[in-house]
Structure 1
Amino acid sequence: MRVHDVMVRPVVTVSTDTPVRRAAVTLTERGFAALPVLDHQQRLTGVLTSGDVLRAGESGPDVTVSEVMSTPPVAVAGHQDLTEVVRMLLGHGVRSLPVLDAEGQVQDMFSRGDALRLMLRPDETISAAAQVRLDDYFGPRRWFALARDGAVTVTGTAVGESERRIAIALVRTVPGVREVTLATRSSCG
C-alpha cells in the first residue's frame, strides 16, 4: 500500500512569515503534531512541530515560523510504500511527515497516528465507516458496504451515474480503503 492510497484530508500549512503564536493556535486547535512550512513560491521549506513552538517559549508577536521551524524538512512522496514511510517516521524520531506529490507540492501529512489507524482497521471497521458515510448522504440503507482486505463492495439501487460516482467517492474517503467496486441495479426515476 502506498501513502497516496490512504491520504484523504486537506493539508493545513503555514508560511515562513506566519507568527509563531498564530501557528501554535493552529497546532493546538487542530490537534496536529506538526505543520508543513511553505515559502512564498509554495515550496516546502521546513516543518513546525509542537516541540519547536515549546522551545521558542513565550516568543513575542514579531517572531515568525521561519525563526523556529525544523529544517531541512524530511518529507515523503505520495507513491512511497507505507512500510518505508513508517520506518522513516521512527528512524527520524518524528511524529509526522509532509507528503509531496509528483511536482513536489505538499499534499498531506502522514503521522504515526495514521499508521496506527491503518494497522488497527479491520474490515468490519472499514465496512461500518463506509456504511455511515453512505447512510449520512443517501439515507439509511439505500446502499450497503462490505469490506474484505480493504476492498469495499457497495451494493444498492442507483438512480443515475452521478449517484454511482458519489457513492464511490464517499467510500474512498474511509481510511484503509484500497479499492471500491459497485454492484448496482439501475432504477428508473
Structure 2
Amino acid sequence: MRTGPHVVSDVMTRAVVAVGVDTPFKDVVRLMERWRIGALPVLGGEGRVIGVVSEADLLPKEEFRDGVPDRYAQRQRLSDLAKADALTAGDLMSSPPVTVHGATTLAEAARIMARRGVKWLPVVDAEGRIEGVVGRSDLLKVFLRDDEDLTEEVRHEVVDRLFPLPADHIRVEVHDGVVTLAGWVDGAGLIPVAERLARAVEGIVDVRCRLNGAIGAR
C-alpha cells in the first residue's frame, strides 16, 4: 500500500510532443491538431524547457488579420501584436514557462494550475529538462482508486495512527469513494481530527463520520 501523498510523477504523461524554437508557425498548428492538444513545450539545448506555445498564443495572427486596433488597444496588447507577426515557436512562446517537478504533490500542482490559469504543466528535472507533462485530467486520476485501496489507506493512515490498538471497534467502509467511519473511540476530541485526515486521503470523495466517544477522554 502506498503511504504519503501522490506526486506528479505518478500520473504524468511521459510521451511528450514538443517543438524547438525554430519550428514554423504552421507546423505548430499541425502538431496541435494531429495530437489534439492545446499547448506544446518549447525545448532549447539538451531538452530544457524554455517556453510554452498555447492556442492562445496562436490566435492573435487570426484576430489581427484585418488590421491593428487603435493606439490605446495597441498599448494594452503589445505582446499579442508581436505574436500576430510570429513565424516560429520561439516568436510565439510564453517564457519563462510555468513548470513543476515530478516530486510535486498533486495538490500543489492543482494550486499552480489554478493560480496561473493554465490547463497543463511541463514536468522537468532538476536541470530543467523535459520529463513529461501533467494536465487537469491527470490530477483527477486519484479518484479512480478502488474502494478496497482507499479502505486500507484510511484504516492504516487514520484509524491505526490516531487510536490505540486494537481498533477493531472502529469500522471503515468505502463505497464509490465515500468513506464511512463508524464505532466508538476513547476521546471525542479526536473525532474531528479523524474526519479531517480521512477527507485528506487522495481519492476520497466525501466522509461520513459516525464515530462516538466519551468527552474528556483522550
TM-score, normalization: structure 1? 0.60
Please state how far the C-alpha of 1:113 moved relative to its aligned partner: 2.1
Q: How does 1:4-153 map to 2 (within 5 A)?
A: 4-57=9-62, 63-116=87-140, 118-123=141-146, 148-149=149-150
Task: Identify the residue that residue 8 of structure 2 maps to in structure 1.
Answer: 3
Task: Identify the residue that residue 206 of structure 2 maps to in structure 1.
Answer: none
Please state how far the C-alpha of 1:120 moved relative to its aligned partner: 3.7
Question: Do the aligned residues in 1 keep the contact of 2:46 with 2:129 (CA within 8 Å)?
Answer: no
Please state how far the C-alpha of 1:148 moved relative to its aligned partner: 2.0
Please state how far the C-alpha of 1:30 moved relative to its aligned partner: 0.9
Question: Do the aligned residues in 2 keep the contact of 1:96 with 1:112 (CA within 8 Å)?
Answer: yes
Distance 1:115 1:70 in 2: 23
Structure with a larger share of its residues in helix: 2
Gaps of 5+ in 2: 1-5, 66-82, 153-201, 203-218
Count the aligned residue pairs: 129
| Runs ≥4 residues deviating over 3 A | none
Alpha carbons of structure 1 residues 68 and 8: separation in structure 2 relative to 1, 3 Å: closer
Please state how far the C-alpha of 1:83 moved relative to its aligned partner: 0.1
1:21 is paired with a residue of what secondary structure? Answer: helix
Question: Do the aligned residues in 1 keep the contact of 2:38 with 2:55 (CA within 8 Å)?
Answer: yes
Distance 1:10 1:112 in 2: 17
Name the Cα RMSD after superposition. 2.8
Distance 2:89 2:11 in 1: 29
Question: Do the aligned residues in 2 keep the contact of 1:56 with 1:68 (CA within 8 Å)?
Answer: no
Please state how far the C-alpha of 1:82 moved relative to its aligned partner: 0.7
Percent same amino acid at aligned positions? 35
Question: Do the aligned residues in 2 keep the contact of 1:101 with 1:107 (CA within 8 Å)?
Answer: yes
Task: List per-residue Cα deviations over 1:10-46 (Å, max 9, x = no partner).
Answer: 1111000001110111112111121110114422110
The residue type equivalent to 1:19 in the other structure is P
Please state how far the C-alpha of 1:53 moved relative to its aligned partner: 1.4
Please state how far the C-alpha of 1:99 moved relative to its aligned partner: 0.4
Alpha carbons of structure 1 residues 32 and 84: separation in structure 2 relative to 1, 3 Å: same
Distance 2:45 2:104 in 1: 27
Q: How does 1:167-178 map to 2 (within 5 A)?
A: none
Gaps of 5+ in 1: 125-146, 152-175, 177-189
